[in-house]
Each structure stands twice: as C-alpha cells, then as structure tokens.
Amino acid sequence: MIQFNLLPNVKLEYVKTQRSKRMLTMVSFVVSVVGIVVLVLSFISVDIVQKKSLNDLNSDITKYSTQIKSVSDLDKILTVQNQLSTLTSLHDQKPVASRLFTYITQLTPAQASLGQLSIDFTNKTLTVGGVAPSLDVVSTYTDTLKATTYKTDTATTATHAFSNVVLTAFGRSEAGATFTITASFDPVIFDTKSNVTLTVPQAAQADQSSVFGGSN
C-alpha cells in the first residue's frame, strides 16, 4: 500500500510546533504543580510542625521547672550531690597512712623501742619517741632519718624522705637513754598515686615486734 503525504511542508512544521508547544506547556504545568506542593509542604513544616514542636518544648520546660521548684530542700540536695561528686578526688588526695608502720619498721634501729609515734599530715611532720640502750643508738636513729632516701615507680632519682631532723629531747638512766625526734617528711612517700621504695642505711632495720616494745 502506497501513502502520499499531501500536507505541504509549512503545515507539517506548524503541526510539529504545536505538538512541542503542548508538550512544553504540560511539562511547565507539572513543574509548577510540584513547586507549589513543595512550597506548601515547606510552609506547613515551618509554620505548623516546628511551631508545635517549640510549643511542646516550652510546655515541657515549664512543667519540669515547676516540678523541680516544688522539691523541698533542693539547694541542700544539690549541695550534697556536689559534695559526693568530689569524694573520688578527695580520696585520691588522701595520704596512705598505713605505710607509716612499714616505714617505721624499716627506719628504727633494732636496739630501740618506740613508745611515742605521731604524724601530722597537714604540717608534714613526724614525731617518734622511746628508749634505747645508749645515746649512740639514738644518734644512729637520727642519722638514719637524715640519710634515708626514696624512689617511686615514675621517678627513679633518689630523694631524701625526711628533712629538719632534730633530736628535740633526750635523757639518760640506768636502763639506757630516752629520746624524742621530730622530722619533716616529703608528702610523696604517703601519696596514693605513687609506689614508694625507701632506701634505708643498714644500721636500722628493726623487726616489727621490737619497734614498739617499751616506752618512757
């Protein structure tokens, strides 16, 4: 079957142009509708949804603020909570007082017996007193305190553990000599964050049972 195109070229071009125009009009209409929908949705989101969310948040804030204000003794409760939060740091700052008896056992000459032992962690001072067979033993004790050094697991340089070592009182009797020694100590040796090792002259090193054997 043979077909003949009887439309002139001008007419064909016109038909094509009209078809393209209708297509462009339709596409423009669809794009405009989509744009209007997006605009409406954005308006709803900003003006309605977000406003409602902000109003809900403000209501919650007002509600919980009222609840908090209604709690009796709130200031005291907050103060206690703040104090509890500092317990850990305070515990870390607390000196390890239990090390004292180990140190005294290492430092006290075998012939000496202690009847007085006091320590002041605020002023960092130590006082020991007791009896010894002679003043030579007392002198050895004093020199031991002066010469004792320590090291930690983080600082391997030897540092003097005690300073200002003074024989503040002494006396003689038929039984031997009495004494009182005061000294300042380096707080690091009682620091909970440090593992301390004392280096004590060999003249000391009493056994624990003999350190607190007697007093005057």
Percent residues over pLDDT 70 in the chain: 69
Assigned domain for 82 exists: no
Rounded mean pLDDT of 53-62?
76
Are residues 179 and 126 part of one domain?
yes
The 8-class DSSP code of residue 134 comes to S
- Domain membership flag for residue 1: no
Answer yes or no: do 118 and 166 share one domain. yes
**Shared-domain flag, residues 200 and 110:** yes
pLDDT for the residue 216: 39
Assess if residue 86 is contained within a domain: no
Which domain covers residue 134, as residue numbers?
A: 96-211
To which H or E segment does residue 163 belong?
strand 162-173
For the whole prediction, is pTM greater than 0.75? no
Neighbours of 151 (CB within 10 A): 16
- Does residue 179 surpass a pLDDT of 90? yes
Q: What is the pLDDT of residues 143-173, one digit of tens each?
A: 999 999 999 888 778 899 999 999 999 888 7
In the numeric block, the tokens 């607390």 are attached to 94
Q: Are residues 186 and 110 in the same domain?
A: yes
Residue 81: the pLDDT is 58
Count: domains in the chain:
2
CA 76, CA 197: separation in Å to the nearest integer?
44
Give the total residue count for the chain.
216
Rounded Cα distance, 129 and 166, in Å = 12
Specify the 3-state DSSP secondary structure of 38. Answer: helix
Q: Are 191 and 119 part of one and the same domain?
A: yes
Query: Looking at residues 108-127, what average pLDDT do you find?
Result: 90
One domain, residues 128 and 193: yes
User: If pLDDT is split at 50, 70 and 90, which confidence band does 46 have?
Assistant: low
**Region 104-132 average pLDDT:** 90
Indicate if 63 and 129 belong to the same structural domain. Answer: no
Token pair, residue 31, equals: 């794009």
21 and 64 co-located in one domain = yes
- 81 lies in some domain: no
Does 91 fall in a domain?
no
Mark whether 186 and 150 lie in a shared domain.
Answer: yes
Do residues 109 and 204 share a domain? yes
Q: Averaged over 73-82, what is the pLDDT?
A: 61
